Amino acid sequence: MKIETLSIDFTDEQKRYLEGFTTGLQISRVGRGLGGAAGKAAAEPTGPDAAHIKAQDKVIASGKKLADPEKFKREEHPFDAYPRLKQQALDNAPPSPADNFRWRYYGLFYVAPAQDSYMCRLRIPNGILKHWQFSGLADLSERLCGPFCHVTTRANLQVREIPPKHAVALIEGIQDLGLCSRGTGADNIRNVTGTPTAGIDPQELLDTREYAREWHYHILNDRSLYGLPRKFNVAFDGAGKIAALEDTNDIAFTAVEVKDGFGAEGGIWFRLGLGGITGHKDFAKYTDIIVRPADATKVADAIVRIFIDLGDRTNRNKARLKYVLDGMGHEKFLALVEERLGKPFTRVPAEALCLRPASDRMAHIGVHKQKQDRLNWIGVSLPLGKVTAEQMRGLAKIAQDLGDGDIRLTVWQNLLISGVRDENVELAIAAIQKIGLAVEASHIRAGLIACTGNAGCRFAASNTKRHAAEIGDWCEPRVAIDTPINIHVTGCHHSCAQHYISDIGLIAARVPVGEDDDTVEGYHLFAGGGFGPDADVGQEVFHDLKAEDAPKAVEKLLKAYLTHRASSDETFLTFARRHDGAGLRKLAEAEVSA
Residue with the larger pLDDT of the pair 105 and 15: 105
Residue 22 and residue 34 in contact, taking contact as beta carbons nearer than 8 Å: no
Q: How confident is the model at residue 9 (pLDDT cuts 50, 70, 90)?
A: low
| Residue 88 clears pLDDT 60, i.e. is over it | yes
| Residue 133 clears pLDDT 90, i.e. is over it | yes
Residue with the larger pLDDT of the pair 37 and 122: 122
Helix (H) / strand (E) element for 86: namely: helix 82-91
DSSP 155-209: S-EEEEEE-GGGHHHHHHHHHHTT-B-TTSSSSSB---B--TTTTT-TT-S---H
| Residue 37 clears pLDDT 80, i.e. is over it | no
Between CA 411 and CA 406 the distance in angstroms is 17
Position 494 scores a pLDDT of: 87
From 102-106, 288-292, 402-406, 448-452, the region with the lowest mean pLDDT = 448-452
Nearest to 379 by CA among 304, 429, 338, 312: 429
Position 282 scores a pLDDT of: 93
| Residue 279 clears pLDDT 50, i.e. is over it | yes
Q: How confident is the model at residue 476 (pLDDT cuts 50, 70, 90)?
A: very high
Q: Where are the alpha helices (DSSP H) in 458-519?
A: 464-475
Q: How confident is the model at residue 11 (pLDDT cuts 50, 70, 90)?
A: low
Between CA 151 and CA 380 the distance in angstroms is 12
Between CA 422 and CA 375 the distance in angstroms is 6
Position 139 scores a pLDDT of: 98
**Pairing mode, strands 267-274 and 118-121:** unpaired
Position 285 scores a pLDDT of: 96
Count CB atoms within 10 A of the CB of residue 294: 11
| Residue 23 clears pLDDT 50, i.e. is over it | no
Nearest to 242 by CA among 402, 410, 116: 410
Sorted by sequence, the CB contacts under 8 Å of residue 25 that are 6+ apart come out as none
| Residue 97 clears pLDDT 90, i.e. is over it | yes
- Report residue 142: phi and psi, to 5°: -65, -30
Q: Is the peptide bond before 113 cis (omega within 30 degrees of 0)?
A: yes
Between CA 374 and CA 363 the distance in angstroms is 18
Residue 469 and residue 384 in contact, taking contact as beta carbons nearer than 8 Å: yes
* Mean pLDDT within 432-440: 97
Residue 207 and residue 198 in contact, taking contact as beta carbons nearer than 8 Å: yes
Q: How confident is the model at residue 32 (pLDDT cuts 50, 70, 90)?
A: very low
| Residue 518 clears pLDDT 50, i.e. is over it | yes
Residue 417 and residue 407 in contact, taking contact as beta carbons nearer than 8 Å: yes
Tell me the pLDDT tens digit for each residue of 323-335.
999 999 999 999 9
Between CA 286 and CA 155 the distance in angstroms is 23
Tell me the pLDDT tens digit for each residue of 172-199.
999 999 999 999 999 999 999 999 999 9
Count CB atoms within 10 A of the CB of residue 378: 24
Position 382 scores a pLDDT of: 97
Q: Please give the angle made by the CA atoms of 542, 548 and 551, to the nearest 5 degrees.
A: 65
Between CA 222 and CA 228 the distance in angstroms is 13
Position 1 scores a pLDDT of: 40
* Mean pLDDT within 161-177: 98
Residue 170 and residue 131 in contact, taking contact as beta carbons nearer than 8 Å: no
Average pLDDT, the chain: 93
Residue 540 and residue 581 in contact, taking contact as beta carbons nearer than 8 Å: yes
Between CA 478 and CA 554 the distance in angstroms is 11
The pTM of the full predicted model, rounded to 2 decimals, is 0.91
Instruction: State the greatest distance between any 2 C-alpha atoms of the chain, in Å, as a whole number.
Output: 78
Residue 319 and residue 230 in contact, taking contact as beta carbons nearer than 8 Å: yes
Between CA 405 and CA 400 the distance in angstroms is 4
Nearest to 368 by CA among 198, 127, 202: 202
| Residue 499 clears pLDDT 80, i.e. is over it | yes
Between CA 236 and CA 258 the distance in angstroms is 17
Nearest to 452 by CA among 485, 491, 418, 478: 491
Residue 156 and residue 414 in contact, taking contact as beta carbons nearer than 8 Å: no
* Mean pLDDT within 321-349: 98
Position 42 scores a pLDDT of: 59
